[in-house]
Structure 1
């Protein structure tokens, strides 16, 4: 990354109650005699679906153990250690993953957090862990070296349900919670704030059939609440990314799936070159297939020699505008 003029971040994530039972098969864990259930803000179980999941995420989860108050300071120090190790390894900055129903969000949302200490109850208390981690990491790495990812989601007035729910995490005060948390982030010298749009697509469909690309932006309102660099992610196409930045909804747009399948994505977007279609069946595990074997685009031949299918960018836009 550095030899090509790039910068790189390391995302720091604690899954909390979403930790997969299979981790108990790790040789180090098997050597212990104490049970190691997943931890969370409270002993609130993750509800299990009766439908088969994707990528083996449908494993039966254990009842989480509520972290003791005295353990939380050690958890913050664990984040510091991870950030320190990332810096030693050459990463330019770290991104705190506080989104998608994982541990930090399990503290922030009262559908999971039933604590009665100073990490539970009010939205200020439920956000305490988030800000303690931010403060510790900024002290460790310095200004503009710490970023954060959040996934705000609020109630759809037409249905009375959340626009998106991640691993069963909900909060009765969602709008007030996210307004408070995002406004308070202005007090910290963050590299950026990345918001996931609440429009997660289907996991087993082709890109053009993905319902998420047809859904409008829900988090653009946070542009008025946060004064730092704001990045959007989730369900963006080349054309909708340009529209979002042009409308000042976001400063930048992050791509995941399209960047995975197109290692030269910035150049392709700039030149309007066709994109490699990604193969979701190869996501989350496995070897090089679907990970490092996506080719760069050959402009001399105007084609990519590989088994991956190409799609013109204007077709992605046409599919979005057709519904």
Structure 2
């Protein structure tokens, strides 16, 4: 089943395997522009039915990691055109992940004070400029609470980024609302202490996400829009949120009429609890449209999710770092090249080494 076609709306995929989004920080400087090396990287991995790119900041203030590819200037659009053409030439489809990290950043990366639902900082580190020069992990900055004007501007930034993505040749966009980034910060109790319509009740804490999604769907169509959530992951937060699962379920009910391309559940990374089978069944009961699951999957565990109808698509992240020909390895039961310490060291920044020099199986 994992190798079967998947069709939904205008999305036609040759298999149900997606390449999950992974930050790699290989852009051309200055300007954080996608380049030929990135086009090669994605084309090598275009055996996936669908590729989801690394997170692309929708604005300078939305940026969280240095050297990540933006989608808010014409240079970004032109750079991404090389990437989308390379992927399409290999017969795959590609969604760009739209990114606003909120408080998970630093003013040396964004150029101004970082934003969040409330002015609450969590101990955290991101990949940014070091005081002594070069890049490495730095502590995040103190956020300020977003005003109503900030919220409306951010919604507009998402819409413009989606339009830019379509101009750049993408088949669709995935909005990152997981991993403690901006939309997740609005949904969680510890980071959202607002007293306006975007804080307090569960309905209010999901409002920003729903407004973003509806605005983008209105602009480019629901079958070109997806969203990533992580209700069972605590990344970016010191403690578990007792309400986040219920809040995400409320979001799913609101998103269902939008007929999205898929909802993407990110699981089993950073600090997490395993998603229980009861949650998978509840999601299917309240959400009728396509579901993608990612998080330390194997070919076998992914197949079980598909066969149990808990997922329509399955995404693989780190296996795609060291196995550009992942689908062929799965089909032929060839061994996978390990994601080892050297591969981890080359994740962020650098050159071709540990990026486009992994061979196909011989």
What range is the shorter-chain TM-score in?
A: 0.7 to 0.9
Unaligned runs of 5+ in 1: 30-35, 50-54, 154-163, 203-211, 299-323
Compute the displacement of 1:201 (Å): 5.5
Give the match's secondary structure for 2:222: coil
Per-residue deviation, residues 186-225 of structure 1 (Å, max 9, x unmatched): 121200010012x2169xxxxxxxxx9xx85435232332
**2:224 paired residue among 137, 141, 145:** 145
Compute the displacement of 1:273 (Å): 1.3
Q: Could you say which residue in structure 2 is the equivalent of 1:287?
A: 351
Structure 2 length-normalised TM: 0.67
Give the match's secondary structure for 2:96: strand
Query: Whose relative contact order is higher, 1 or 2, with alpha carbons under 8 Å and at least 6 apart?
Result: 2
Compute the displacement of 1:256 (Å): 0.8
Give the match's secondary structure for 1:254: strand
User: Aligned equivalents of 2:230 and 2:214: distance in 1?
Assistant: 20
Give the match's secondary structure for 1:178: helix
Q: Could you say which residue in structure 1 is the equivalent of 2:337?
A: 276
User: Aligned equivalents of 2:275 and 2:192: distance in 1?
Assistant: 28
User: Aligned equivalents of 2:261 and 2:92: distance in 1?
Assistant: 15
User: Are the counterparts in 2 of residues 12 and 82 from structure 1 also a CA contact under 8 Å?
Assistant: yes
Q: Could you say which residue in structure 1 is the equivalent of 2:41?
A: none
Compute the displacement of 1:239 (Å): 1.5
Q: Could you say which residue in structure 2 is the equivalent of 1:166?
A: 235
Per-residue deviation, residues 222-277 of structure 1 (Å, max 9, x unmatched): 23322111010011112211122222221121001112221221121111112122
Q: Could you say which residue in structure 2 is the equivalent of 1:305?
A: none
Give the length in aligned residue pairs.
260
**1:40 paired residue among 116, 125, 144:** 116
Give the match's secondary structure for 1:187: helix
Q: Does 1:263 align with 2:314?
A: no
User: Aligned equivalents of 1:285 and 1:220: distance in 2?
Assistant: 36
Q: Does 1:100 align with 2:163?
A: no
Q: Could you say which residue in structure 1 is the equivalent of 2:292?
A: 231
User: Are the counterparts in 2 of residues 100 and 151 from structure 1 also a CA contact under 8 Å?
Assistant: yes
User: Are the counterparts in 2 of residues 194 and 230 from structure 1 also a CA contact under 8 Å?
Assistant: yes
User: Aligned equivalents of 1:152 and 1:225: distance in 2?
Assistant: 16
Q: Could you say which residue in structure 2 is the equivalent of 1:129?
A: 208
Give the match's secondary structure for 2:103: helix
User: Aligned equivalents of 1:9 and 1:175: distance in 2?
Assistant: 26
Q: Which has the larger radius of gyration?
A: 1
**2:103 paired residue among 9, 14, 17:** 17
Q: Could you say which residue in structure 2 is the equivalent of 1:303?
A: none
Moved more, 144-153 or 243-252: 243-252
Structure 1 length-normalised TM: 0.75
Structure 1 stretches of 4+ with a deviation exceeding 4 A read: none
User: Aligned equivalents of 1:189 and 1:295: distance in 2?
Assistant: 39
Compute the displacement of 1:7 (Å): 0.8
Unaligned runs of 5+ in 2: 1-86, 126-134
Compute the displacement of 1:56 (Å): 4.2
**1:112 paired residue among 183, 187, 191:** 191
